[in-house]
Every structure is written in C-alpha cells, then in structure tokens.
C-alpha cells in the first residue's frame, strides 16, 4: 500500500512570511539553530501522518468544498519545544475561532476514519530547528496579525537534507 504524508495548514502571505522570517533571525541570535526557509513557514491545523494514496486523493478533491471559517490569530509569542529543539512563533492565547477551526476540521476528518491526536492543539510556526539554547528569547518583536480565510492540504516528501512540501489542495474562501 502506498502512502503520502499529509497535513492541513494555514499558509502565510509572502509578506507575513517575510515578517516571520524576521522573527526567526532575531531568535537565532539568542537560540542558535537552523532557520526554516521563508517559503516553507506555516501553521499546522491537523497533522494526518501517512495516509493511503486513495484517501489522499479523496481528501484533495473534498478540500476545496470545505470552507474554513475565517479568523485572525496573533503571532505574539516565542515558544520552544525543548525535546525537539524547536523554536516557534505563535499566539500566547489560542483564539476561540482557531481552536474551533481545528476541532471542526478533525470532526470532518473523523468521517474519513482519521482520528485527532490525544495531545491538545498547540498552534505554532516552527522558525528554528536544532536550537542550542532552549529558553525562548526574552524580547519579542512587534506582534503580527494573521488574518486567514482558507487552509491548504500539504504533502510532505522526505528528501535527504529535509522535507519538501507540496500544496495539493486548498479550501475555497467562504462567499
């Protein structure tokens, strides 16, 4: 059985991604580590892991017909996942709209036999990997406001030296 590694994400505009890259550069001065490429920055809504290719095709066809309730999330906080040596940007407080979007997405995915992970939703944009100092920087740049109105379905392909992301579908914004 062949599978593809999938996740649903919010993808920033090039402008927002450039601002997030500035957050990454600032954090690297304190934390060390490797900066993620600007064009790959994203916020994962649901990580599906390896999915059978037939189901992946079904999801890619269904995604445009499943609008995401538009909302806004502040990037106003640096956090670290010390075990994974990741530094990220995200909201200090998860907005209800984003939490609902996550919960409703997983409810919909349940109809395809997919189950949400037991861990709580931790919305974040990974900025640095392999960080050296696992305390987040004390100073945070000016907060960024991220208005979103759609999500993307992404296939993650493992290559030597990292992953390549391929957007396979996106939801249509609500009329």
3-class DSSP state of 42: coil
Q: How many residues in the shown chain lie near ligand 2AM by CB under 6 A? A: 7
Helices (H) then strands (E): counts for the chain: 3, 10
7 contact partners, CB below 8 Å, separation of at least 6:
44, 45, 46, 47, 48, 153, 154, 156
- Find the shortest distance in angstroms from Cβ 16 to ligand 2AM: 16
Among 4, 28, 33, 44, binds ligand 2AM (CB under 6 A): 44
Q: Is 126 in the site for ligand 2AM (CB under 6 A)?
A: yes
Q: Which of 51, 68, 86, 89 binds ligand 2AM (CB under 6 A)?
A: 86
Binder among 47, 71, 114, 149 for ligand 2AM (CB under 6 A): 47
Q: Which two tokens stand for residue 113?
A: 């036999």
Rounded to the nearest whole angstrom, what is the least distance from the CB of residue 154 to ligand 2AM in the complex?
A: 7
Q: How far apart are CB 15 and ligand 2AM at their closest, in Å? A: 20
- In the 8-state DSSP scheme, what is residue 64? G
| Residue among 94, 99, 97, 129 nearest 116 (CA) | 99
By CB under 6 A, name the binding residues for ligand 2AM: 7, 44, 47, 86, 117, 126, 156
């Amino acid at each position: 059985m062949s599978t593809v590694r999938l996740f649903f994400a919010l993808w920033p505009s090039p402008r927002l991604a450039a601002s997030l890259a500035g957050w990454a550069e600032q954090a690297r001065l304190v934390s060390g580590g490797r900066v993620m490429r600007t064009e790959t920055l994203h916020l994962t809504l649901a990580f599906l892991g390896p999915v059978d290719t037939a189901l992946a095709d079904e999801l890619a066809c269904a995604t445009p017909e499943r609008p995401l309730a538009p909302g806004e999330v502040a990037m106003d906080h640096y956090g670290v996942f010390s075990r994974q040596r990741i530094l990220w940007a995200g909201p200090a407080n998860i907005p209800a709209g984003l939490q609902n979007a996550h919960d409703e997405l997983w409810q919909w995915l349940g109809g395809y036999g997919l189950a949400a992970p037991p861990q709580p939703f931790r919305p974040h944009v990974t900025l640095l990997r392999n960080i050296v100092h696992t305390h987040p920087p004390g100073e945070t740049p000016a907060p960024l406001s991220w208005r979103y109105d759609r999500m993307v379905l992404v296939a993650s392909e493992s290559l030597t030296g990292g992953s390549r992301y391929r957007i396979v579908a996106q939801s249509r914004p609500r009329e």
